[in-house]
């Protein structure tokens, strides 16, 4: 948008300047209208000031109306004074014009849309009623009642016709005019076409009035021609100028208005002008609606074409028989065919056989009008013979009579998504199986809305029906009273420190007590606060029972070893001491705490005989039979010796 255009849109003249310009325009058009009265009529046969005032009222706020009425009245009275005299000026006429303009402006505001008041023929009919029918009739009645004179019927008819013609000629142009419309004529083609059309219309109108026997027939044809050629506002401008020029020609040569039946023409001499404007206005609105509809269709087709061609997903037009009529680049790339190759195929040929029946069933429902659209995941063959997944959405375009024309298909590549979905499904199956095999339940706690979610295994662990909603209170009540304080403290410390936690507690179930180990991690929000906890619960009851049994067995073994009279030692595979009973401590002179981890031959000082050779290998498998049969002696660390049997 250039600076000049911006200035036209933003800058508005001062209200006083607008009133002065309005008064000047009214003055000029009043001079023109009153000039026509010089040719034999008491009242002006064409009257534009009321239409000017009506448009001004319509386009401005109510607070401006008094100023508008004064400015237009002043221009009206000034023009009357210049052509006639002060004595001939009747302010009642001006007052009636103001009343008409107010009535017309109010009606137009009620009947027409504000932004674009003339969009179709219906709007023009409302404009004609609101400006060229009701206000002139009200003004004619007021004039007849307030200003009595000779031939009241003729004066009434002339008044109504003059106001109606003026309104039809000027009000449409006044309502449509916007300052930025002038910038359209910077296009030389539109400006030249407007000027040439106006010049040809005026020239041929002058020729028809001068020489042809039925001149207004020719003028109507010319105005209809202008309506077809020009945009709406330019056409109304040609109508106004043509009416003004032809009216001046008729005023100078009234014989052009003579007809075979002169009676009606004596009472309504300017009636042909009304007949000129009505079909021309109607044709203008019809052509405007036609151009607007054609523009709308063109824009819609262009948008659809661009949307289809540059869409990231595949799009195609498909005939009723399944033939590909048109396909975009995304679809061609997806299937591996060129558009020409696709047009020689049908979608049935490219559809995986197992998916074709479902597709055709829904397609039949779409054609019969049972559904408006359908979506389906299906598989296609590519040009290379691969099978790919796609999400298909289909709608139908119909004739005005409802018969189907063609299908619009949207085909989105979901092959990677389906592969990922398959992998995720298998992974979830393995995770679920592992959790079930390990007796692991998964839970989640959203802290802010305070919502706790359990999986199926959690309900089984706590022996709670699945329809019951898990809550903090429910979890708290299931824990044995002696474990509750510790569990709450661990959980509270985890939330404060924002760290994961491990917790073991017991819960009450039907069979008694169940041992639970809970592991949880925290999920932080953007502020670094704990947003939710995600964790698992494991049933440790069997492990606990097994550990307890092993502990009891170990205790019994220790008691047994402590009570027997023989010395007993245990070693690891490296022959380092791991256990000694009290008898072994007494005989070796080593305490168990000192001996653990020491080589056994360091703890047991064994010789062959009391003064014999030191035993260097304790493994009986490495000793000869004669060595084993010899007497061996265990020398105590603190002194003394014991004859032993190894």
Per-residue pLDDT tens for 130-162? 999 999 999 999 999 998 877 888 889 889 999
Higher model confidence: residue 291 or residue 628? Answer: 291
| Bridge partners for 642 per DSSP | 634
The confidence score (pLDDT) of residue 628 equals: 53
Name the helix (H) or strand (E) containing 248. Answer: helix 232-252
Beta strands 632-635 and 641-644: pairing type?
antiparallel
Q: What percent of the chain has pLDDT over 90?
A: 22
List beta partners, residue 512. 509
* Range among 17-26, 461-470, 475-484 rated most confident: 17-26
Mean residue pLDDT of the chain comes to 82
Q: Between 271-309 and 232-252, two packed helices, what is the crossing angle to 10 degrees?
A: 170
> What pLDDT does 337 receive?
92
Pick 160 or 215 by higher pLDDT: 160
The mean per-residue pLDDT over the stretch 153-177 comes to: 91
pLDDT surpassing 90 at residue 25: yes
- How many residues does the structure list for the chain? 646
512, 521 in Cβ contact below 8 A? Answer: no
Residues 6+ apart with CB under 8 A from 326: 308, 316, 317, 339, 343
- 552-565 residue pLDDT tens: 777 777 777 777 77
Most confidently modeled of 54-58, 505-509, 515-519?
54-58
Question: Residue 38 in 3-state DSSP?
Answer: helix
Average pLDDT over residues 311-319: 86
Number of H helices, E strands in the chain: 26, 15
Question: Does residue 621 have a pLDDT over 50?
Answer: no
Average pLDDT over residues 61-68: 93
The DSSP result for 114-137, as a single string, is SSSS-SSHHHHHHHIIIIIIHHHH
Please give the angle made by the CA atoms of 548, 554 and 555, to the nearest 5 degrees.
Answer: 90
The arrangement of strands across the sheet holding 641-644 comes to 605-608, 632-635, 641-644
The confidence score (pLDDT) of residue 3 equals 41
| DSSP codes of every residue in 441-471 | EEEEEETTTTEEEE-HHHHHHHT--TTSPP-
Say which residue, 392 or 256, is predicted with more confidence: 392
Better-scored residue on pLDDT, 40 or 539:
539
**Residue 248 tokens, joined:** 């001046």
Encoded tokens for 180? 């930025």
Per-residue burial over 301-338, b if 16 or more Cβ lie within 10 Å, else e, is eeeeeeebeeeebbbbbbeeebbbebbbebbbebbbbe
Categorize the per-residue pLDDT at 263 as very low, low, confident or very high, splitting at 50, 70 and 90: very low
Residue 575 has pLDDT above 70, yes or no: yes
Cβ neighbours for 627, distance < 8 A, ≥ 6 positions apart: 608
Burial 509-526 (b: 16+ CB within 10 A, else e): eeeeebbbbbebebeeee
How do strand 404-413 and strand 387-398 relate by DSSP bridges?
antiparallel
Per cent of the chain over pLDDT 70 is 89
Reference 46, options 248, 265, 261; nearest CA is 248
pLDDT band at 170 (very low <50, low <70, confident <90, very high): very high
pLDDT single digits (tens) 326-355: 888 888 998 999 988 888 899 999 998 999
Q: How many CB atoms lie within 10 A of CB 476?
A: 11
Question: Is residue 270 scored above 80 in pLDDT?
Answer: no
pLDDT classification of 246: cutoffs 50, 70, 90: confident
Q: Which long-range CB contacts under 8 A does 17-25 form with residues at least 24 apart?
A: 19/67, 19/68, 19/70, 19/71, 20/71, 22/52, 22/56, 22/68, 22/71, 22/72, 22/75, 23/71, 23/72, 23/74, 23/75, 24/75, 25/52, 25/75
Phi, psi (5° rounding) for residue 326?
Answer: -155, 140
Per-residue tokens: 557:
């073994």
What is residue 163's predicted lDDT score, i.e. its pLDDT? 93
Residue 72: in which H helix or E strand, if any? helix 65-83
């Amino acid at each position: 948008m250039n600076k000049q255009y911006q200035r036209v849109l933003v800058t508005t003249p001062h209200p006083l300047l607008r009133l002065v310009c309005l008064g000047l325009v009214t003055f000029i058009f009043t001079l023109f209208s009153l000039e026509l009265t010089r040719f034999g009529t008491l009242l002006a046969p064409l009257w534009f000031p009321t239409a000017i005032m009506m448009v001004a009222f319509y386009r401005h706020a109510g607070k401006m109306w008094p100023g508008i009425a004064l400015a237009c009245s002043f221009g009206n009275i000034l023009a009357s004074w210049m052509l006639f005299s002060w004595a001939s000026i009747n302010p009642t006429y001006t007052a009636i014009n103001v009343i008409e303009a107010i009535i017309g402006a109010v009606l137009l505001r009620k009947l027409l849309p504000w932004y674009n008041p003339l969009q179709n023929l219906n709007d023009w009919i409302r404009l004609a009623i609101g400006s060229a029918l009701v206000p002139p009739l009200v003004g004619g009645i007021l004039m007849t009642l307030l200003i009595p004179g000779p031939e009241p019927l003729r004066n009434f008819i002339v008044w109504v016709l003059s106001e109606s013609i003026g309104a039809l000629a000027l009000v449409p142009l006044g309502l449509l005019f916007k300052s930025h419309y002038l910038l359209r004529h910077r296009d030389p083609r539109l400006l030249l076409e407007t000027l040439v059309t106006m010049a040809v219309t005026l020239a041929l109108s002058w020729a028809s009035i001068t020489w042809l026997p039925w001149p207004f027939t020719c003028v109507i044809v010319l105005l209809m021609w202008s309506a077809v050629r020009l945009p709406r506002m330019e056409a109304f401008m040609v109508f106004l100028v043509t009416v003004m020029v032809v009216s001046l020609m008729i005023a100078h040569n009234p014989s052009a208005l003579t007809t075979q039946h002169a009676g009606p023409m004596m009472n309504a001499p300017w009636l042909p002008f009304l007949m000129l404007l009505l079909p021309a206005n109607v044709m203008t609105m019809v052509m405007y609606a036609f151009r607007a509809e054609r523009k709308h269709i063109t824009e819609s087709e262009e948008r659809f074409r661009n949307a289809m061609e540059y869409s990231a997903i595949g799009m195609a037009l498909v005939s009723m028989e399944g033939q590909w009529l048109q396909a975009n680049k995304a679809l061609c790339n997806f299937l591996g065919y060129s558009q020409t190759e696709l047009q020689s195929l049908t979608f049935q040929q490219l559809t995986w056989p197992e998916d074709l029946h479902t597709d055709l069933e829904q397609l039949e429902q779409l054609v019969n009008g049972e559904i408006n659209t359908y979506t389906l995941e299906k598989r296609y063959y590519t040009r290379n013979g691969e099978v790919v997944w796609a999400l298909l959405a289909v709608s139908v375009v119909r004739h005005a009579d409802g018969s189907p024309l063609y299908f619009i298909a949207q085909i989105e590549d979901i092959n990677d998504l389906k592969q990922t979905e398959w992998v995720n499904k298998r992974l979830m199956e393995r995770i679920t199986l592992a959790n079930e095999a390990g007796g692991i339940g998964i839970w989640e706690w959203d802290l802010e809305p305070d919502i706790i979610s359990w999986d199926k295994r959690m309900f089984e662990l706590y022996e709670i029906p699945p329809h019951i909603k898990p809550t903090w209170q429910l979890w708290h009540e299931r824990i044995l009273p002696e474990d509750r304080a510790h569990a709450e403290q661990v959980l509270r410390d985890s939330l404060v420190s924002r760290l994961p936690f491990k917790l073991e507690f017991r819960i009450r179930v039907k069979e008694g007590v169940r041992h639970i180990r809970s592991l949880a991690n925290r999920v932080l929000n953007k502020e670094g606060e704990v947003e939710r906890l995600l964790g698992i619960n494991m049933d440790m009851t069997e492990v606990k029972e097994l550990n307890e049994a092993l502990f009891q067995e170990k205790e019994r073994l220790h008691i047994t070893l402590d009570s027997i009279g023989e010395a007993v030692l245990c070693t690891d595979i490296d022959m380092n001491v791991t256990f000694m009973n009290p008898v072994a401590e007494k005989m070796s002179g080593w305490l168990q705490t000192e001996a653990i981890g020491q080589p056994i031959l360091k703890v047991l000082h064994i010789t062959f005989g009391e003064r014999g050779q030191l035993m260097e290998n304790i493994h009986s498998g490495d000793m000869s039979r004669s060595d084993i049969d010899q007497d061996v002696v265990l020398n105590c660390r603190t002194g003394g010796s014991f004859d032993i049997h190894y």
